[in-house]
Amino acid sequence: MSLAVYKQWKQHNLPNYLITELEAIQNNIKELEERFYQYLTFGTGGMRGLLGAGTNRMNIYTIRRVAEGLARYISSNGEEAKKRGVAIAYDTRHFSYEFAVETACVLGAHSITTYVYKEERPTPQLSFTVRELKAFAGVVITASHNPKQYNGFKVYGEDGAQLVPTGANAIIAHMNPIEDIFEIEVADITELEQKGLFNWILEDLDEKFMKNLLTLKNNNAIDYNMKLVYTPLHGAGLVPVVEGLKQFGFNEVHVVEEQAVQDGAFPTVIYPNPEEAAAFSMAIELGNQVGADLLLATDPDSDRLGVAVRKDDSYELLTGNQLGALLLNYILKTKQENGTLPSDGAMLKTIVTSELGTAIATHYGITTVNTLTGFKYIAEKISEFEMTKAHTYLFGYEESYGYLIETFARDKDAVQVALKVAEMAAYYSTQEKTLLNALEELYEQFGYYKEALVSKTFEGKDGQEKMKAILNNYRLNMPKEISGVAVVRIEDYLTGIATLYDGTTEPIVLPKENMLKFVLEDNSWIAIRPSGTEPKCKFYFGVVRDTEEKANEILARLKEDILSKQVLS
């Protein structure tokens, strides 16, 4: 495919920056192969990739292709679907605004109504907007926490949730017949505005989103003078998080001004990812200056939240699992004290998230429901609960810093959680406790649950093959023991079968995914899966012991055993 398609691209009147790129690599056969051997993959996580020229890159032409597929899908659902239209938001990344407008103009060529944010806004606000406008679908232009060289395209259904496989496959079916992306019709924005097919949105939806955010506020006695530092990491969380904290009543909110500049180059960080300790360096500096008790950081599209807590003269970052456990316990404890904890309540988490959450939920008489990795599956369960009335949703989270409290959004929501974490920390502050003290109490009550994630990067076409080989090697040589501990359960999510230690099998009642999970006799576990949005193979580890020292020792041993046996480069 590569050279022929490259020549086709060269024949077209491309923007100058794309022409310059192609001319620079015209004699680099390997680079041409990498850029043109396939179209960027679209799936349940949407489409994400490096910015640049080529079919395997993010640019206006690959955006047009996926927008055309979405347009054909919406059109196949009839005139009412086209009239309800599509809500579109975007973050602060390079070309996010341009890609959003391009998407709207492709949809408009099919007479599909669009509602486009005038300014950058968070992914969870887009999810809310789809529901608020009763739109047929939603689109967010973002690559979440990826480096600055990336951008992406995520699609949401009418429930405000990211598409699950059925919806994604329907769009793919409409994308596949597109033979020439240069023939895709792109309508004129001015004409679309005149016809009412292109609509700018901002203030009204901001106000409605904030009104819903304020429903999270409890009437607990809390310390509103607790000092907070917040950084949006140059992203779209700035407006709703700062305004939300203010309206919650916090008087001492300090913003990292250098990182409040909404800049897709992310000039002050290498990775705009609140999971990375380095992303907190400027927040820590400001925290020390003002004597802050708590640091909050959101990623560029503000669906992930990172938290650091004052500890003596420094700060300690919480993991996604730790923060999730703290939030879950605080929410359930508060509801129990207020007499509003439902008997049919359920907590949702992914299969690679800590089992500490399960222990906490059980303590409060709450059901735990596990889903595949990806918040779309948590959102799917929320909708299922609403239809079947089987459970009342109380909280959902995943280890990768994603959480959802109230369901007016149907994706992980760092805006909601930033406000709730501040409230939770201020609540414990009145008891002269930090979140670290509260976490230690959970460990003492339920056991020391410790987890780790190791991600190995496999770039390009060869990388995809290496990741497949790792999983296939395990399937051909399933371990009977790991680190001297017997494997009592092997869950293969690709086949949908769990095999027990005695050879008996049972079905896994979840959608299929290329992932393996090994449960050991001592309740430790290991999971291995290729990422759905990044060129990485992820290795997850979880253990529980009665002391922190023992837990850390076992965790280190498991990591060494698994990773030393893999060809990871």
**Domain CATH code at residue 473:** 3.30.310.50
For the chain, the domain total comes to 4
- Are the CB atoms for 489 and 503 separated by under 8 Å? no
Residue type, 276: E
Packing angle, helices 60-75 and 165-175, rounded to 10: 110
**149 and 43 co-located in one domain:** yes
Q: Which residues are catalytic?
A: 144
Domain that holds residue 546: 448-564
Packing angle, helices 435-446 and 320-338, rounded to 10: 80
- Tokens 């992406």 -> residue: 152
- The last residue of one of the domains, among 204, 239, 271, is 204
Residues 417, 368, 433: CA angle, nearest 5 degrees: 45
Residue type, 351: I
Q: Is residue 29 in some structural domain?
A: no
- The last residue of one of the domains, among 257, 291, 315, is 315
- Are the CB atoms for 536 and 460 separated by under 8 Å? no
- The last residue of one of the domains, among 315, 340, 360, is 315
Alpha helix segments (H runs only) across 433-520: 435-446, 460-476
**379 and 482 co-located in one domain:** no
**270 and 327 co-located in one domain:** no
- Are the CB atoms for 130 and 158 separated by under 8 Å? yes
Q: What CATH number is associated with residue 82?
A: 3.40.120.10
**160 and 264 co-located in one domain:** no
Token pair, residue 61, equals 């032409």
Strand partners, 114: 86, 198
**331 and 283 co-located in one domain:** no
Count of residues making up the chain: 569
Give me the pLDDT at residue 533, please.
64
Q: Is residue 254 in some structural domain?
A: yes
Helix (H) or strand (E) holding 519: strand 516-520
d(CA 3, CA 8): 9
Query: pLDDT in tens for each of the 569 residues of the chain?
Result: 577 888 889 889 999 999 999 999 999 998 999 999 999 999 878 999 999 999 999 999 999 999 999 999 999 999 999 999 999 999 999 999 999 999 999 999 999 999 999 999 999 999 999 999 999 999 999 999 999 999 999 999 999 999 988 999 999 999 999 989 999 999 999 999 999 999 999 999 999 999 999 999 987 779 999 999 999 999 999 999 999 999 999 999 999 999 999 999 999 999 999 999 999 999 999 999 999 999 999 999 999 999 999 999 999 999 999 999 999 999 999 999 999 999 999 999 999 999 999 999 999 999 999 999 999 999 999 999 999 999 999 999 999 999 999 999 999 999 999 999 999 999 999 999 999 999 999 999 999 999 999 988 887 767 777 888 888 889 998 999 999 999 999 999 999 999 998 899 999 999 899 999 999 999 999 999 987 667 789 999 999 999 999 999 999 999 999 988 754 43
**256 and 338 co-located in one domain:** no
**153 and 292 co-located in one domain:** no
**200 and 56 co-located in one domain:** yes
